[in-house]
């Protein structure tokens, strides 16, 4: 227990306003990230057809955030914001298609590197997607251990293509390629359990980043049978498996007697995707666009014995807040962050919204939230302005009827953009075209002509055929 000696006097829980004297060691911190999960695809978020009993129990023990957002609507920039606690556009990480020799800026401190000076052992498990080359490897960004793959997506089963030496999809333990058997979601859950067994006597930070429920849509045969006849059979089976493995982690924490000293976050990295059967509920849009369905996500926080359970919190919240909250409860030094310490809200010392405004930008698409007012801008096309208080589906443009609020939101978005730098890389041109069409269609309340590059190619061919008649 000597490891804890320098932690004992004070645990800073409320940043800047109050401290709590405690004889407990600093809390373990676990961030569990789902991939491309829809806003309404968990029992605790209202799903009636996807079964998530372990996550539902975790939610019941803590706080469900109904208006929580990621800082991007696609995977890599969202993870850059989460891991740095800053709008990733500040350091040029705006787009998803990371070049081979780039990644999360080497000048930015990560959540893991901020916690290490406070005695935390750190591990990243699962999908990384923050850079492929060695300087951007998790072991170089504050993580003592890494068990996962570096790229953005791979098969859930071992195969010759993904698992060859040097492939970005290959499974690694630290920097060495390893073999795995069975189902990848199980492998991640099992490794998390093994890690807790090995590090239960020291404070640890675990970043448990499942690639479920990202495509390819692959599930275990026994889970597919469980949901035979289900209208979303593959998604139901994949979600069930992820929930089952989260349950393994919770059980291990409880068995080892450390659950009550573990702060747990769960969220999705962005909204549900158009190609994985996900459901964003009443929200408009999906992964990749600036409507609420693209970046409003399921989000919960649990800390048994510290946070009153059974709460629902409606304040405007961001995934950027996880870094600030983790650093505050650990007593770590905070770099300059865009996130807010949620601890005062979690223990009901403070009410209201952690944020008055949030912003998004990727290529030609930008957006902001000011309270319940939502602004969306599409370069070379125009704006839409919605009042989410009575139009959560973002249908009715209020530019004229709420003129002063609209111009204020425009001014604030423009001012925020003056703080950013140009993106270090952009998306593939075909995806830029597709994303632009999707935004234009949603702004016009119509179905997009295409939602992926293959459909775009087919659309061009059909238009050409019409023109030659």
**Residues recognised as catalytic:** 75, 129
Q: State how far the alpha carbon of 244 is from the alpha carbons of 18, 53, 248, 282, in Å.
A: 38, 8, 6, 27
Q: State how far the alpha carbon of 283 is from the alpha carbons of 40, 138, 270, 286, in Å.
A: 9, 34, 13, 8
CA distance 76 to 129: 6
CA distance 283 to 374: 13
Number of other CB atoms surrounding residue 19 within 10 Å: 13
DSSP state of 296: B
CA-based nearest residue to 347, from 329, 364, 335: 329
Which residues are registered as beta bridge partners of 30? 206, 264
Please work out, in degrees rounded to the nearest 5, the angle formed at the alpha carbon of residue 318 by the alpha carbons of 313 and 319. Answer: 115
CA distance 217 to 195: 28
CA distance 90 to 273: 26
Tokens of 338: 């865009």
């Amino acid at each position: 227990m000597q490891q804890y000696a320098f932690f004992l006097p004070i645990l800073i829980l409320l940043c800047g306003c109050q401290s709590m004297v405690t004889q407990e060691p600093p809390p373990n911190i676990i961030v569990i990230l789902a991939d491309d999960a829809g806003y309404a695809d968990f029992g605790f978020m209202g799903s009636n057809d996807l079964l998530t009993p372990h996550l539902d129990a975790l939610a019941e023990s803590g706080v469900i955030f109904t208006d929580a957002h990621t800082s991007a609507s696609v995977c890599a920039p969202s993870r850059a914001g989460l891991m740095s606690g800053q709008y990733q556009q500040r350091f040029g990480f705006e787009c998803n298609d990371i070049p081979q020799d780039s990644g999360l800026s080497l000048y930015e401190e990560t959540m893991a590197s901020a916690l290490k000076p406070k005695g935390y052992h750190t591990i990243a498990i699962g999908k990384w997607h923050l850079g492929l080359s060695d300087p951007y490897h998790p072991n170089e960004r504050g993580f003592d251990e890494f068990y996962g793959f570096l790229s953005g997506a791979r098969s859930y089963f071992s195969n010759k293509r993904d698992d060859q030496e040097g492939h970005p999809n290959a499974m690694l333990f630290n920097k060495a390629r390893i073999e795995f058997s069975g189902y990848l979601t199980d492998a991640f859950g099992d490794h998390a359990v093994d890690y807790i067994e090995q590090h239960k006597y020291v404070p640890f930070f675990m970043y448990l980043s499942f690639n479920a429920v990202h495509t390819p849509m692959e599930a275990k045969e026994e889970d597919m049978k469980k949901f035979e006849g289900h209208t979303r059979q593959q998604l139901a089976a994949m979600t069930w498996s992820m929930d089952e493995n989260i349950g393994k982690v919770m059980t291990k924490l409880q068995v080892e007697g450390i659950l009550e000293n573990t702060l747990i976050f769960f969220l999705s990295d962005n909204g549900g995707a158009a190609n994985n059967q996900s459901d964003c509920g009443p929200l408009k849009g999906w992964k990749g666009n600036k409507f609420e369905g693209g970046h409003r996500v399921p989000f919960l926080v649990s800390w048994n014995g510290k946070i009153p359970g059974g709460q629902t919190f409606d304040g405007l919240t961001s995934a950027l807040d996880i870094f600030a909250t983790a650093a505050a409860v650990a007593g770590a030094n905070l770099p300059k962050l865009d996130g807010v310490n949620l601890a005062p809200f979690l223990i009901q010392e403070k009410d209201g919204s952690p944020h008055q405004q949030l912003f998004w930008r990727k290529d030609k698409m930008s957006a902001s939230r000011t309270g319940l007012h939502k602004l969306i801008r599409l370069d070379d096309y125009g704006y839409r302005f919605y009042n989410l208080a009575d139009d959560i589906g973002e249908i009715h443009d209020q530019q004229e009827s709420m003129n002063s609020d609209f111009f204020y939101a425009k001014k604030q978005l423009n001012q925020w953009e003056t703080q950013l730098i140009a993106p270090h890389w952009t998306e593939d041109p075909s995806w830029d075209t597709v994303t632009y069409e999707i935004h234009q269609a949603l702004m016009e309340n119509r179905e997009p002509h295409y939602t992926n590059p293959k459909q775009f190619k087919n659309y061009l061919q059909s238009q050409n055929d019409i023109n030659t008649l």
